[in-house]
Chains A and B, each alone.
Chain A
């Protein structure tokens, strides 16, 4: 157990690519925490997907032992937090577990929207914040401008910002000293009943669920019995330890310390981020504030390309869910796509990560249907009484309109930072997506735009469009802002007069014609010509609002076919047959799998 005065707990706040993980690696290296030969770039991002995408999905932690210039030994606990909005709740929990933050800003780029969202979380958690200007080795580095921007936009003093090159190691020592001298030591009482925060948890094949904790008061030892305050579940503690970053057992964890416990917990679902852990007997009854379970906000269907792989898909989804309490799933049957799962995610990145992991780690090719949000459908009641409210996760389940009183959709508050050259494009994009402007301010040559937007206009391709209209120079972040009533309808797509359930979407009534036309046109290009002509229609209820006709195939014959060509021709037919397997047969029409997503992408 380390005395409180010699502990510093901190996190690093940064935008993707601003060098957070590299800086963390440097701190670890500088203090000799990991031997040179074990160093691997981006030590803390352990999943392939994290390394590839340069993002952190799970919170990670490392305990660094550091002898400061004053000659005293300190324990520095770094919690590396997810940087993406999808994992905002995990970020907020991690922030509550530490007392200070390094705000890392790329001195060639400046502050980005994501940095803002996370730094506000740090400010909310009462952190002491040390600004760090990174990448000063690059020619485009402009520390004065960026420091000024930090003061303008975020409103914290950046005069003492540390100038660092995580690449060359310049400024690393100064950063370590600043952690010791500028960040506060944690507070806590070793004699009080145990109160520890569950910061994160994950599944390990050998040890079961590993729980990352921050001890607030009291001490925790191996062999003790603990209780989770939210569920009252009791577990005997098998191990306690710290991350160096390898797991290293210790006798006990005391106030201010960050470490792990294992306790024969079978599923990650049994551990809730933000929960309070105490002793079974003589524990605290006072829960830490702000606990809430993570709620999925984006839903989509995942179907195996090959129907025979449905059971494999179920296996893989169940395994992934064991380690991810925020991911929900239930079986779904689609007339077009067969058996699959309707899955709920924290956001689009979360969706992509799970989908990539299924495809890569479990080798199952997937058809992903259009992402959708949860609508609140208020049914008509009897005798002027309000009817029940249904949470609609899948447009295919939309009840009969005549029984619906009204509907509400989730809204978000989006913050976009963009160079002013592209401001007009960004405003147009937001307006097109039914946005309501809340704020527009400038910091230097960059504009900060705040919009109230419907989540359903954002979940699909908003981020792609934003990147494309701003050539990648905009950054974007959002937070949920609750539900609001609007004129929403379910739009069905009929191909050859049959509704294709997987292509149904919820749209705003005013935009239905435009969306319907766009989808019909897209599908006309995506579906190959058949031997007959195929009407493609968009409809609301029984009313057709847009229509295209895919004309019949007129020409598909080999001009020359003689004795030597039979073999080649046979092979071509085989190949076409294999290609057909990648399509979904719907009535008499074959629809290519990519159509289910591509049809919804909007070009404007």
Chain B
């Protein structure tokens, strides 16, 4: 269980003096990227590839050697979270997942409440592997449902149906301790009422955690190209999109799953510990093609990056870049990630660990506009401020 917030607040006060490392303060996780998908979705700009033959043993060797290498650099740490992301990690053999988890627990002490998440697609083939993942140690799945409407699933390039997704979710619930599922909204031709009905249906399924993303058209994706060419009609304008966003807050709150981050909702205590590490500027190891990591080692904050190409990474697993992140950039990262959270950031930590003090005049301006809230040493975005976070960041970080 996560410590109650009052306790963390007290702890934060002591932390300054004791100068806890980021990993002690905000957690330590391991992210492992599986870059393959059965089919590429047109909206997705993640590092994913479609490949017919995957040598799972070769991938195992590469992952294990990287795990060994990072273990040497971080002795004595307690691991709070392991996350299999992708791509579609539910295409991994359960044996491969099990071997990876075994090797990890050989090296690090796992926290009492360690969260071990695997992203899964809700097809029947993948659902059939759930028991295997459970046996290997996975205790949480995040299912990419994306829509509860078959026509829209097809538009989104998904290869499962709503029925399949529901069956997979039911199986996931009976197999794992914790289950999340993703939906994409603000889709083409989706009215406010359409979304209300769909979200009601999702909440009726009794989830403990929901990731609800507004469709974003990214450059370099199939949707991006179509949009640039004048296609992809029927996307909502900003006003409808914001109305849909606020409706989402309302319905989820009423169902007992308030937003704890811009796009993430959970019953209190069911928040994704892994993602909290990112948002609270903890430490994490990034393994696999295109994975990023952040590690505090001998007082320096290191950013790691690996080659994007799966074949290249497999040839020489490891990093393509490793650099010291200067203090001012650490502060910016803490701000831009931390302000996504409803709990906000600690101004003390921002100052003492990252050396940044925010301009009181700018804070005042934002306060007057009702976009932020100051609660003692805590700065957080307001309900109205969160959907314009980028503008808030521009204001706070402007010269």
Which residues of A are at the interface with B, using a C-beta cutoff of 8 A? 530-532, 553-564, 566-567, 569-570, 573, 576-577, 580, 588
Contacts and interface: CB of A to CB of B under 8 A. Distances in A.
Interface string B153-181: 00000000000000000000000000000
Interface residues of B, number: 47
- 9 residue pairs, one from A and one from B, having the closest CB atoms: A556-B390, A554-B242, A564-B292, A563-B278, A557-B389, A559-B213, A555-B238, A555-B242, A559-B214
B225 interface: no
Nearest to A551: B239
Interface of B: 31, 213-216, 238-239, 241-242, 245, 262-263, 275, 277-278, 284, 286, 290-294, 303, 305, 329, 332-333, 336-337, 340, 365-366, 369, 371, 386-395, 397-399
Contacts of B336: 561, 566, 569-570, 573
Contact of A560 (B31, B263, B369): B263
B369 A531 contact: yes
Interface of B is mostly: helix
Given A532-B369, A566-B336, A557 B390 contact: yes
Contacts of A577: 394, 397-399
Nearest to B46: A564
A97 to B, nearest CB: 57
Contacts, number: 93
Contact of B278 (A530, A532, A566): A566
Contacts of B394: 573, 576-577, 580
B389 A573 contact: no
B17 to A, nearest CB: 27
Given A557-B388, A563-B294, A570-B336, 14 more contacts: A531-B366, A553-B388, A555-B238, A555-B242, A555-B387, A559-B263, A560-B263, A563-B31, A566-B337, A570-B333, A573-B336, A573-B390, A576-B390, A577-B399
A589 to B, nearest CB: 13
Contacts of B337: 561, 566
A563 B398 contact: no
B286 A564 contact: yes
A560 B292 contact: no
Contacts of B238: 554-555
Nearest to B303: A567
B245 A531 contact: no
8 contacts: A532-B369, A555-B238, A555-B245, A556-B391, A561-B337, A566-B337, A567-B305, A576-B394
A496 to B, nearest CB: 13
B235 to A, nearest CB: 13
A578 B52 CA distance: 44
Contacts of B395: 531
B391 A553 contact: yes
Contact of A562 (B275, B371, B391, B392): B275
B386 A557 contact: yes
Contact of B333 (A560, A564, A566): A566
A424 to B, nearest CB: 33
A558 B278 contact: no
Contact of B241 (A532, A555, A569): A555
